[in-house]
Amino acid sequence: MVRREPFGQANLFHLNAGGSWRITLTNFGAALVAWHMPDGDGQAGNILLGFDDFQDYLDDDQFTGVIVGRFANRIAQGRFNFAGTPYLLPRNDSPNHLHGGPDGFHRRVWEADVFERSDHVGVRFGLLSPHGDQGYPGTLTVRAHYRLYTEDRLTLDLEADSDRPTLVNLACHAYFNLAGGGSVLDHRIQVHASRYLPINEACLPTGEIRSVEGSALDLRRPQSLRGVLSREDQQLTMAGGVDHCLVVDGHPGELRPAANVEDPASGRRLRVAATQPGVQVYSGNNLKGMPFKKHAGLCLETQHFPDSPNQPGFPSTVIDPDHPYRERMVFT
């Protein structure tokens, strides 16, 4: 069952597929608003940071729960050259461009189409981004398909088609807190990544792809986030915590395990699989305290690599009419 209700300038969509998970979405930013999951004793609790008031989404500058694009993460100096043409983008993370700009996809009211099947329910969100939107070339048709299955599985398919060659990198910026409140520092995290992208003082990748061996970002075995953040590592110092893209093991384009997170106190666990080449692990370092305090949420943003348009050694983010953008995330 999918129940729709008004939500400011948008709508809320409450998904119930008959399992134990209950998920709420909004077509403002195609965002995940709430996700109720039982703990080890069967008590349901919300594992997402989100807002009850639509105005809070308008005021939010932390990308809470939304789909970000056209280009997730940072682009250095808000500029790139593509097909022989220089492009300038809004610098909303001075001096860089972040998550598609100040009026990116996270600020749009998307079209919404509800569907119900025997084993799942969902919402298809759609958006048309005209040529020149936030400085990017090409008219882009974007879709975000959320499907909640009876056996407690959520899939998110992100799709984009363009009328000409352009760059695309979409991501889900959900903040998870499996405890249902407080800090995520005692969460245990595991990332299936043997390599990561080192950053500089501007939180931009240097262009190197480095082994996690011996670094604070070796998350191949489950460990507490508190323990990770307590390590002495220049990479953590520059980011104020974890805010790094890790290279997911396996072949990009194939669905494979990306990350696991667990809250030992509640017994809640979540596994993330994805087709994208990387996962940006963000420990909520810049949450400001109103309403969410520092480390109140953990992001696992599967995506292409940051600043790819300026890094020729990174996987391409170019799409064209014959090569559309198709990526998937699966939560279990």
- Residues assigned a catalytic role: 173, 301
In 3D space, the residue among 67, 40, 38, 41 whose CA is nearest the CA of residue 267 turns out to be 40
Strand runs labelled E in 215-309: 223-224, 243-248, 256-263, 268-274, 278-282, 298-303
Q: DSSP assignment, residue 222?
A: -
Q: Whole-angstrom Cα distance, residue 259 to residue 223?
A: 12
60 and 42 Cβ atoms separated by less than 8 Å: no
Amino acid code (one letter) for 19 = G
In 3D space, the residue among 135, 138, 73, 142 whose CA is nearest the CA of residue 105 turns out to be 142
Q: Whole-angstrom Cα distance, residue 124 to residue 114?
A: 6
The structure tokens listed for 267 are 């017994």
The structure tokens listed for 56 are 């809070």
In 3D space, the residue among 125, 119, 122 whose CA is nearest the CA of residue 141 turns out to be 125
Q: Whole-angstrom Cα distance, residue 37 to residue 270?
A: 10
In 3D space, the residue among 180, 159, 150 whose CA is nearest the CA of residue 15 turns out to be 150
Residue 59, C-beta contacts closer than 8 angstroms, at least 6 positions apart: none
Identify the helix (H) or strand (E) that includes residue 313.
none
